[in-house]
Amino acid sequence: MIESLRSLFTRDLNRLESEIEAYQYEINMWKTEKNISNSAGNLCLHLIGNLNHFIGAQLGNTDYIRQRDLEFSLKNIPRNELIEKIQATAVMVDRILSTLTEASLKNEYSRAPGEEKISTIHFLIHYIAHLDYHLGQINYYRRLLDN
pLDDT above 80 (res 113): no
Q: Residue 43 above 90 pLDDT?
A: yes
Supply the angle between the helices 2-22 and 120-145 in degrees, to the nearest 10.
Answer: 20
> What percent of the chain is predicted at pLDDT more than 90?
88
pLDDT digits (tens, 9 = 90+) for 90-99: 999 999 999 9
Using an 8 Å Cβ cutoff, are 41 and 82 in contact?
Answer: yes
d(CA 40, CA 140): 9
- The overall average pLDDT reported for the chain is 95
Residue 12's pLDDT is: 98
